[in-house]
Structure 1
Amino acid sequence: MKYPLGLSFKFWAFAPQIFVRDSEGNEVIYVHQKLFKLREKVNVYRDRTKQELLNTIQADRVIDFSARYRVCDANGAEVCTAKQFGWKSLWQTRFDILEGDRVVFRLREDNPWTRMGDALLGWIPLGDLFSGLFFHPSYSISRVNSDGTDGELVLRIAKKRSFVERYFVIGKYGELSECEESEVLMTALMMVLLERRRG
């Protein structure tokens, strides 16, 4: 894919949808979240025609801050799982990306105070309309070293200034195989959908 990628979704949309475009403006991914499911279920397509399914993302439980999100390819084979980091994620968003039982990447919010301001403004009547103009949370995805510490930065997701539409940019900072790129992008998309609810 040609980076940076732009992620956008309509603020007032009833069904959560994300449109992903590459640096040349071509639509490369379309995300559609199914409504009224007790467990999170997200379908990821090549584009909005929904003719080519790329991945599915399914939560392992109804509501839990320690939920695992299973990422599968179009044939149902597991690509990876993304584990939300428990109650600590209320303060600072964190996901561990696993291949089997091995943590290979980690998504971490760069500055939790930024999102806190974003969320507080959202509590004010009509504040949601303006929070996108003032607060811009960012998130980093890094490889995980053998000792469990964060290693090389590979992707960064940043919320950009916007009004009616919410807009994020994904920049690439490290080399990724095709499988690794799928792992980190699917986790980033799931995180954006979850953070959408929190401001």
Structure 2
Amino acid sequence: MSQYNYPLHFKFRISTFSNDFEATDSLGNTLFYVREKILTWRDQMKVYSNGTKDELLYEIKSNKLIDFQQTFAITNSQGDMVGKVRRKTISSLWKSTFKVMDASDSHDYTIKEKNAFVKMWDGVFGEIPIIGMLSGYVFNPSYILSSTAGEPLFELKKEPSFFGRKFTVDKLTSNDVDEERLILSLVVMVLIERSRG
């Protein structure tokens, strides 16, 4: 049985300098609040139970200073490893791809961009003055999280918005999966990819 009410919604705040967003379910309940730390040597994110930031649930840290085969480790509030997400840099030049691994570094899921042409046209139009500001309404990438056997499990879609701040997550399977780890993996991916429009 699913532990979340889908679809889930990721909504970024535009009033803060850091990359903050709240995750809610279809009933409007807050699932967690994500805050990306700025002015740090390595990418670092903290996941709280809500926007008050009183209860820390997870920490997500990059293993490298530069964006080349970057791996993000997800740990819980006790410091135990939950899983890892690794960006495949070479394939990401054409179609964004991320490897999702469990606590023992075993690759068991993959996140892939659904349509590479969206990335290309978003990049082209994003550079055009004035018109580029509207690309967030037209070019909205989506991503599929699937098992290594190729079964689609989740889809994350960017919703049309001026600041590119709204995303929706749908569950595509009725099978039992490690939902919490996989949703956290999508959190990592969306923070990395959000700047694309």
TM-score, normalising length: structure 1: 0.90
59-68 or 116-125: bigger deviation: 116-125
Q: Does 1:51 align with 2:50?
A: no
Gap change, CA 1:39 and 1:121, over 3 Å in 2: same
Work out whether residues 97 and 113 of structure 2, in 8 Å CA contact, stay in contact via their aligned partners in 1. yes
How far 1:80 moved relative to its partner?
0.7
Matches within 5 A, 1:47-126: 47-99=50-102, 100-126=104-130
Alignment partners' CA distance in 2, 1:27 and 1:101: 30
Amino acid at match of 1:105: Y
From 130, 137, 141, the equivalent of 2:141 is 137
Shift of 1:109: 0.5
| Amino acid corresponding to residue 89 of structure 1 in structure 2 | S
Residue deviations 1:98-132 (CA, integer Å, cap 9, x gap): 12232111101000111221222222234453111
Q: 1:37 to 1:127 in 2, by over 3 A?
A: farther
SS at match of 1:14: coil
Identity %, equivalent residues: 31
Q: Residue 113 of structure 1 aligns to a residue in which SS?
A: helix
Which piece of structure 1 moves more, 88-97 or 3-12? 3-12
Q: Which runs of 5+ in 2 are unaligned?
A: none
The residue that corresponds to 1:163 in the other structure is 162
Q: Deviations over 1:30-62 (max 9, x none)?
A: 100001111110001111011121111100000
Aligned to 2:171: 172
Q: How does 1:185-196 map to 2 (within 5 A)?
A: 185-196=183-194
- Bigger drift between 117-126 and 52-61 goes to 117-126
- Closer/same/farther in 2, CA of residues 101 and 116 from structure 1, 3 Å limit: same
Q: TM-score, normalised by structure 2?
A: 0.91
**Does the residue aligned with 1:83 lie in a helix, a strand or coil?**
strand
Residue deviations 1:120-173 (CA, integer Å, cap 9, x gap): 22222344531111011100001113xxxx2x2111001111124521100011
8 Å contact 2:153–2:172 — kept in the other structure? yes
SS at 2:165's partner residue?
Answer: strand
Match of 1:33 among 8, 33, 36: 36
Following superposition, the deviation at residue 72 of structure 1 comes to: 0.7
Aligned counterpart, 2:181: 183
Count of residue correspondences: 192
- Structure 1: give runs of 5+ residues left out of the alignment: none
Across the aligned residues of Structure 1 and Structure 2, the Cα RMSD in angstroms comes to: 1.6
Conserved 8 A contact 2:95-2:113: yes
What is the CA distance between 1:11 and its match in structure 2? 4.8
